[in-house]
Chains A and B, each alone.
Chain A
Amino acid sequence: MSAIGELSTMTRRKGPMTKEEKKANGRDNKAAYIFLLPWLIGLVAITVGPMLMSLYLSFTDYNLLQPPEWVGLDNFIRMFGDARLHNSLRVTFTYVLVGVPLQLGVALLIALVLDKGLRGLPFYRSIFYLPSLLGGSVAVAILWKQIFGTTGLVNQVLAMVGIEGPGWISDPNTALGSIILLHVWTFGSPMIIFLAGLRQIPVMYYEAAKVDGATTLQQFWRITLPMLSPIIFFNLVLQIIGSFQSFTQAFIVSGGNGGPSDSTMFFTLYLYQKGFGQFDMGYASAMAWFLLVIIGVFTAINFIASKYWVFYDD
C-alpha cells in the first residue's frame, strides 16, 4: 500500500487495539526508542522545531543580524498587498494546474500503449524513464535554456520548415510554457507507477468483459480506469505537492530572476529572493507557511474529491 493509502486507512480505522497489539504493547519500548533515536532527533531538531520556529518568525521582522522583532500580522497583511506575490501565485498555479494533468495524461497514455507484453518493453521503459532522473538537474535546465532560446534547437528545427519561432524563454508569453514542457518531459516516473498498477489488474476482469462483448473503449472506462484510480490519485497527490515546490528549472532558465517580466517567478523563487536575497526572513517564513496552507488545501480537496472517483478494491 502506498504512503497515501496507509494514511487514509489509518484515519478510517478507529476501532480498539487488537489483542495482539495490546499484549505486545510496551514490550519493546526501550529497544524501539533506541532504534528510533536518530529519526526522533531529526524530527525535533530538523523538522518540527524549525517548523514552529518559522511559525514564530512569520510574526516578526527578522534580517539575521538584529534579533527578531514582533510585528503581529504585518507580514500577512503585506502579502495581501504584494502584487509580485500575487503574480508568483498565478505563475505557480498555472504551472501546477497545467503541468501536472498534462504530465500524468502523457504518463498514463504511454503506460497503456506499453502495457500487455509489448516486445521491447524494457527498452522503451528505460528511454522514457531516463528524462525523469535528469530533469531536476541544473545541466538539463541549461540545455532547456539553449533549446528554447531565440537561436536555440527548437527554432533551428522550425526554421528548416520555414517558421520563425519566437524567443521562447525570452518572451513572457511562452517562457512558462517552456518550463511546463520540461515538467511534462519527466513523465517517466509516474508512468512506471502506472505500469506497475496496470499489471495488478486481474486479467479475468478483461476476459469476462470480452466474453460479454465489451469493446476496448468500454474495457478502459469500466475496468482499467476504476481499477487504476487509486494509483492515479496517488500520482496526482504526489505530483501536485512536488510541483508546488518546483524551483531549479525556473531559477536556471530565468537566470535567477524569474523573468522575463516575472513570467517564471515561481512562488518558491520569490520566497528564495525574499529570504536569501534580501534576508527578509520574517516575510519569507510567512510565505512558507502560506505555501504549506495552499498545499494542504489542495491535498485536502484531492482527498475529499477522491471519495467520488477513486475506487478501492477492499
Chain B
Amino acid sequence: MKVLCGIGGSDDSFRALDRTVERAAVANDDLTVAVVENPDSSVDPDEIARKAESAVEEAGIDAEVRQVEGDPGSRLVEIAETEGFEEIVLGGGHTSPMGKITIGSIAEFVLLNAKTSVTLVR
C-alpha cells in the first residue's frame, strides 16, 4: 500500500513513525515520511528528518523522507491526493496530565478533509 506518514515532532508523531516504519517492513508498504511544520512542536525539522531517516534505515526499508513547508494539514491532504497515496498515518494525540487524549489540529484537519483512510496511531 502507498502510505504517507506525517510527523511534526510531537511525541505521538514519533510513535506513529516507529509503528509505520515497522509495519512497512512487514507489509512491504511504499512509504513516504513527510516532515511537517507543527507550530506546537519545538523540535527542529532537520532533526525530525534525521530521526526519520535513521528509523527508515534501521528497519532496512526503502522510504523517502521529505520536508514539507506550509500549512501541515492541507499540505498532507494535497500530497496524498496529487500523488495517489492510499493512507495517511498520523500521531494519535497528546495525553494530558489527567490522562485525557486531545487530538492535534493537524490530525483534526486531515481527518475531516482527506479522501484517503486516515490512521491515528495509539
Q: Does A pair with B?
A: no
